[in-house]
Amino acid sequence: MKNNVFTIYFALTFLMMPFISMSQFNSGNGTINNPYIISTIEDLNNIRNYPDAHYLQSNDIMIDESEFDESGKLYNDGLFWEPIGSYDNHFMGTFNGNGFVIMGLKINRADDDYIGLFGIISSTSVLDNIILEQAEVNGKQFVGILAGYNIGGTITNCFA
């Protein structure tokens, strides 16, 4: 009986995997034709969990200063925003900001490289129509407000 319960549990877990990932976003499935919809700072933060998916911003995202307080969601031991895409796990997807603003991004990683909203974007990445306002970004090497390092990805119509 014990093995049957495990088998059923494993089968249900495996079958539910596509639905589990979707729960981190309000809508979309991460494909080019049906991108994940990004409408909150939580959505934006969850992009790092699916670095090869496609995303579309649906409204302005204003990051409240309290998010960076010691009890805030983006405090991260005083380092604040963790860049999307790292040396070991590049961002490989697409992000269309759709002309909406991301306001109030803060990063305080003076000892870290590859710092920005996106840390490292790969040659398959497309960043388009992104507007960043009132950003404060501090890093060591390969630092930018939008992206710290671009390995041949496409960046168009983006402003900081």
Q: What is the pLDDT of residues 75-90, one digit of tens each?
A: 999 999 999 999 999 9
User: In sequence order, what DSSP letters do the residues of 80-100 get, joined into one string?
Assistant: BSPPBS-SSS-B-SEEE-TT-
User: Does 72 fall in a domain?
Assistant: yes
pLDDT tops 70 at residue 54: yes
CA distance 103 to 80: 14
Is position 82 within any domain?
yes
Q: What is the tens place of the pLDDT at every residue in 2-19?
A: 555 544 554 444 444 444
Average pLDDT of the segment spanning 39-62: 97
- Answer left, alpha or beta for residue 143, where phi above 0 means left and psi between -120 and 50 means alpha: beta
- CA 57 – CA 6 distance, rounded (Å): 40
Number of domains in the chain: 1
DSSP state of 159: B
Residue 114 belongs to some domain of the structure: yes
Residue with tokens 């041949």: 152
- Give residue 6's identity as a one-letter amino acid code: F
pTM summary value: 0.85
Residue 11 lies in a domain: no
pLDDT of residue 17: 47
* Structural tokens at position 124: 């398959």
**Averaged pLDDT, 36-55:** 97
